[in-house]
Structure 1
Amino acid sequence: MIEVLVISISKPLLIGIYENKKLIKVYEEEGMTSDVLPVLFKEILDKYTIDSLIYVNTPGSYMAIKVAYVFLKTVSISHNIKLKACSGFEFNDNTPIKALGKKYFINSKDGVKVDFLENNCKMSPFELPEVLENINISAETLPIYNLPAV
């Protein structure tokens, strides 16, 4: 079973190829999601028979999330591949994620809030996990926007 995980909410864009839940290949590419994703997916679709696609649908760059969703939903429909989603906090050790200006998305027991960082706040880079077994993956794939309307 081949699963593809896409983390588009940070730079570089990360794509992991998983066989039986274990990471077998990493794609790491700088650039705009709209430019990079189609090029990488041409190679991936030519090389692998994919059973499911997983992408980060919250929180982070709204444009990157929207582009990833539209692109991956199209691939999902056109190639009859399951699409799933998960939170970006799964891949950065649950540390704050850049929001807007000097504010960050912070995951707390009360849910995701947007706030300034406290001094000495730990931040971790996004990383593809070696295995997908302990990742909270959802069948709800629509992007989740955590900022209030302006």
Structure 2
Amino acid sequence: MLVGVYLGGNLIEQIKSDEKASESLGEILGLLSAKFEISKIIYANGPGSFMGLKVAYLTLCTFCVARGLEFYGVDGFALNGAKPIRANKNMSFVLKNGAISLQRVEPYEFELPISLDGLELIADALPNYVIDAV
């Protein structure tokens, strides 16, 4: 998991965790809210792990509602140069010609943009699961 803090639209701090969102997101939110005045949350709303997206969405949405914060989604492909995104242990989501498919390829890591300028925010932040849960 990768979390960034932006001031004036520019990245000022990053937190990376190898733990699952369900294990670390609440703690990270607590630490950041004690250190910064948070006004907006933007998260990668997919594609990704069905459970990971669901946990992240519910946690972040609840946090935003409780604190009266703006909440947006962003396409995960915008955070890794449109390269493959891990779907599960063996498969990755691949974006080609505007369509997303599952393929057996190595995923790339997400990178936070230095600036939020040009990032297409999605006001309807619901997760984009791409595939149904099995």
**TM-score clears 0.5:** yes
Distance 1:72 1:148, change over 3 A: closer
Q: Does 1:18 align with 2:6?
A: yes
Question: What pairs up with 1:56-95 in 2 under 5 angstroms?
Answer: 56-95=44-83
Q: Contact (CA 8 Å) 2:85, 2:108: kept in 1 or not?
A: no
Give the number of aligned pairs.
Answer: 134
2:123 is matched with which residue?
139
| Kept after mapping to 2: 8 A contact 1:54/1:85 | yes
Structure 2: how far apart are the matches of 1:79 and 1:50? 9
RMSD: 1.7
**Structure 1: distance between partners of 2:7 and 2:71:** 16
Map of 1:1-150 to 2, 5 A cutoff?
13-117=1-105, 124-148=108-132, 150=134
Runs of 4+ with deviation above 2 angstroms:
100-103
* Identity between Structure 1 and Structure 2 (%): 30
Alpha carbons of structure 1 residues 100 and 37: separation in structure 2 relative to 1, 3 Å: closer
Query: Which structure carries more strand by proportion?
Result: 1
Q: Please, which runs of 5 or more residues in structure 2 have no aligned partner?
A: none
Q: Deviations over 1:99-122 (max 9, x none)?
A: 2453321112232122333xxx7x
> Which runs of 5 or more structure 1 residues have no equivalent in the other structure?
1-12
Aligned AA for 2:130?
Answer: N
Please say if residues 93 and 124 of structure 1, whose CA atoms lie closer than 8 Å, have aligned partners that are also in contact.
Answer: no
The alpha-carbon deviation at position 53 of structure 1 amounts to 0.2
Query: In 2 relative to 1, CA 27–149 (structure 1 residues): closer, same or farther, beyond 3 Å?
Result: closer
Contact 1:52 1:82 (8 Å CA) reproduced: yes
TM-score by length of structure 1 reads 0.81
Change in CA separation of 1:149 and 1:27 when aligned onto 2, cut-off 3 Å: closer
